[in-house]
Structure 1
Amino acid sequence: MSRRHPEHQYLDLLSDVLERGDERLDRTGVGTRSIFGAMARFDLSDGTVPILTTKRVYWKTAVKEMLWFLTGQTNIQPLVRENVRIWTDWPLATYRRETGEEIGQAEFEKRIAEDDDFAARWGELGPVYGKQWRRWLGADGREHDQIKDLIDTLRSNPSSRRMLFHGWNVAELGQMALPPCHMVYQYHVTSDGRLNSLCFQRSADLLLGVGFNWVNCCALQLMIAQQAGLKLGDFVWFGGDVHLYLNHLDQAREQLSRDPRPFPKMRLTRHAASIDDYRIEDFEVEGYSPHAAIKADVAV
């Protein structure tokens, strides 16, 4: 009997939200259809990664975002210069609100990319993911590098049950453009040296976010495994509030009409000196042949 394609875990979630999601108003005012509590599991041991095939996922953009998180930076300028626009909506909305200028997104991004002073003032997101991962500020005034500590523990005490990092810094949530959605990552090493990872995502935009976040997580797992001298194991994802925006329902139905194709493989083309040494050119994806992209608006 042929094994069911692992992408059906995602398609089943889409179907579940469409059929029995609780319809409600949300922070953005767009409205969502939502379920609470979901899980997916993928075996990465042969290099296969869950980059969705029922629509094109721009995996390089996702990897670039993860590399930006790892720098600890919180300004969108380096992202915009890399042609990554997924974080522009929030600072753009702030700029328009505070200045009254109805600037277009392309012009705003051009100014962010070219004008350092403008970027410093208007491109800042507050203490979001990278700040918390790499520079969590303790009550004692010391900064904590959760990623470095994680890799050190993976190397020295791989049977630990304390190998995790998270971004939900209660004291700083109010300063963030957007509190972390994928907020807790935990790691586990098997007796034969395989690295398993788990991500808990409190808020999961099923159409636009989740497939992208899965690429984020797998790229990070690949880098951490290499730095710790481990092989790849499973990637496990948990969603809290898993939802479709009400202006995404037709797109979800379109995606459900498509049959999954084989997942691609992702690998690193070189051994980086440290977790800070990776570049987008180090990632290679083979065998990715998805259906066409599906357009949908981000709810801000």
Structure 2
Amino acid sequence: MKRHPEYQYLEIMSDLLDGGDRRMDRTGEGTLSLFGRQMRFDLSDGTIPIFTTKKVYWKTSAKEMLWFLTGQTNIDGLLRENVRIWTDWPLAKYRKATGEEISQDAFEDRILASEAFAAEWGDLGPVYGKQWRRWKDNDGNDHDQIATVISTLKSNPTSRRILFHAWNVGELDRMALHPCHMTYQFHVSWPDGPEGRPRLSMMVNQRSCDIFLGAPFNICQQALLLAMVAQQVDMDRGELIWVGGDTHLYLNHLDQARLQLSRTPKPFPRLELARKPTSIDGYRIEDFEVLDYQSHERIEAPVAV
């Protein structure tokens, strides 16, 4: 019987608990850390790696990926989709600058109510979407890396240069959070020979990974991106390959990790795309049909900011 691919994830978590290097980190929480891990997920059978040993809110993950693809950098666009995962950073900045101990709900209400307030306090700087869609070179020209990837996949699919990344050194100091999943590289193969259907695979290099909260979320949305790009270039889905640099478990997530490790994975769900938009910019949350997703109950854990 084929081994469930989610065990790759659970084994990384177990290795962190057993032998992770205990260290202090940027957030002050402290982590158990390992360097250099890999997971591989075969999407060619129509499944999608939405982890099952705790509930993953895949629609939130999808909405964030769609937000990246718009090139937006203000949390206003996320909040209008009821996605609150980026609020912590601008909220902390606002509290520090003003001394006002405003609640998250009240802060988000102000963002939604006032364009001026959103412009001043809701922008995250030139984070992922900006780099993906509007990377600015030394001459002031913008480069749409996503459009270039799709164009190259259509015109030169065997190229070894089909990639995009977000680690723009000149703009790092203006970002609310430095990019964690930084490099996405694509590879086309022809498993049934040159006359058969091409298959698209994607490898993601993630320099820093919160294995408990971040990894399930990121891997789900990366699989969704692969499915979108494959559809746009008329290819079948291949492998999603995830490579982690500093792969860590926060010290205030240890009990949650042990609980998750006590659970047995359930079968991965299947992903269908309801339609084919005319471009990568046309996808909406309603286009993703995740079928037969079953999971164990959610496990709450705090976010390190």
Q: How does 1:233-272 map to 2 (within 5 A)?
A: 233-272=238-277
C-alpha displacement at 1:146, in angstroms?
0.2
* Equivalent position to 1:232, from 214, 237, 240: 237
C-alpha displacement at 1:4, in angstroms?
1.1
C-alpha displacement at 1:165, in angstroms?
0.2
> Please, what TM-score do these two structures have when normalized by structure 2?
0.97
C-alpha displacement at 1:117, in angstroms?
1.0
Could you give the per-residue CA deviations for residues 113-143 of structure 1, whole angstroms, max 9, x where no partner exists? 2211111110000000000000000011110
**Which secondary structure does the structure 1 equivalent of 2:243 belong to?**
strand
Give the letter for the 1:126 counterpart: G
Identity of aligned residues (%): 63
Q: How does 1:122-271 map to 2 (within 5 A)?
A: 122-191=121-190, 192-271=197-276
**Contiguous gaps of at least 5 residues in structure 1:** none
Give the letter for the 2:173 counterpart: G
C-alpha displacement at 1:81, in angstroms?
1.1
Partner of 2:194: none
* Equivalent position to 1:278, from 265, 283, 293: 283
Q: How does 1:3-152 map to 2 (within 5 A)?
A: 3-152=2-151
Could you tell me how far apart the structure 2 residues matched to 1:81 and 1:101 are? 24
Give the letter for the 1:20 counterpart: G
C-alpha displacement at 1:267, in angstroms?
1.6
Could you tell me how far apart the structure 1 residues matched to 2:142 and 2:13 are? 40
**Which secondary structure does the structure 2 equivalent of 1:33 belong to?**
strand
2:295 paired with 1:296: no
Give the letter for the 1:288 counterpart: Y
Give the letter for the 1:127 counterpart: P
Give the letter for the 1:124 counterpart: D
Could you tell me how far apart the structure 1 residues matched to 2:181 and 2:158 are? 24
